[in-house]
Amino acid sequence: MAKCHYCSKEVNVPKKRFCNEKCHLLNCTEVKEKGCWDYKGFKGKDGYGQIKIGGKVRRPHRISYQIYKGKIDEGFNVCHSCDNPICVNPEHLWLGTPKDNMDDMLRKGRKADKKGELHHLNKLKEEDIYKIRKLLKKKNYKQKQIAKMFGVDPSCICYINAGKRWSHI
């Protein structure tokens, strides 16, 4: 008979390390000074935690909400009052619609409205945009060729040409 890695209770299922979801979650949690319970497991590209329980990958803050507060109705987000995406402290979690979550973000001034070189997914510099526009104006190259020169997708050049990207310069 195996024992839970968190609370040492007996676990009746072979190859299972924890007796329940709560122990699994708490085993991967560190309490911080400001009251956040930081999830220490795997984090996705978006900065939110991911935990595999019962063969499914789930969000730790959602599991915490369900364990400590109850059901999450369809169409609702589990939002963070602390603005810490890895926090699983149920006292920092609240249910809200996607609109509630966006309103909270705007109210707290967290909206990242970064354009051009400041955008985290950007591959181009301002000087590249001037070169691209010059090449587009000459009409000696197809957008696909220009995209290849700058290592971007042709749709990027199309958006620049249409004024939908980099219109601020």
Tell whether 76 and 123 lie within a shared domain.
no
Those residues with Cβ within 8 angstroms of residue 113's Cβ, 6 or more apart along the chain or in another chain: none
pLDDT confidence of residue 114: 62
Residue 125 domain-assigned (yes or no): yes
Structural domain for 142, as ranges: 116-162
Domain boundary among the residues 107, 125, 146 is at 107
pLDDT confidence of residue 54: 81
Cα–Cα distance, 13 to 37 (Å, whole number): 28
Residue 61 domain-assigned (yes or no): yes
Tell whether 81 and 129 lie within a shared domain.
no
CATH number at residue 62: 3.90.75
| Total domains present in the chain | 2
* pLDDT over threshold 70, residue 150: yes
Percent of the chain at pLDDT > 90 equals: 63
pLDDT confidence of residue 113: 62
Strand blocks (E) in 92-168: 93-96
Tell whether 86 and 146 lie within a shared domain.
no
Tell whether 94 and 145 lie within a shared domain.
no
Query: Whole-structure pTM over 0.75, yes or no?
Result: no
Q: What are the tens digits of pLDDT across the range 73-123?
A: 999 999 999 999 999 999 999 999 999 999 998 888 776 666 676 666 678
Tell whether 50 and 87 lie within a shared domain.
yes
Three-class secondary structure of residue 58 per DSSP: strand
Q: What are the tens digits of pLDDT across the range 120-133?
A: 667 888 999 999 99
Tell whether 64 and 32 lie within a shared domain.
yes
Tell whether 87 and 55 lie within a shared domain.
yes
Tell whether 30 and 91 lie within a shared domain.
yes
Tell whether 134 and 77 lie within a shared domain.
no
First to last CA, the chain: 67
Q: What is the CA radius of gyration of the chain?
A: 23
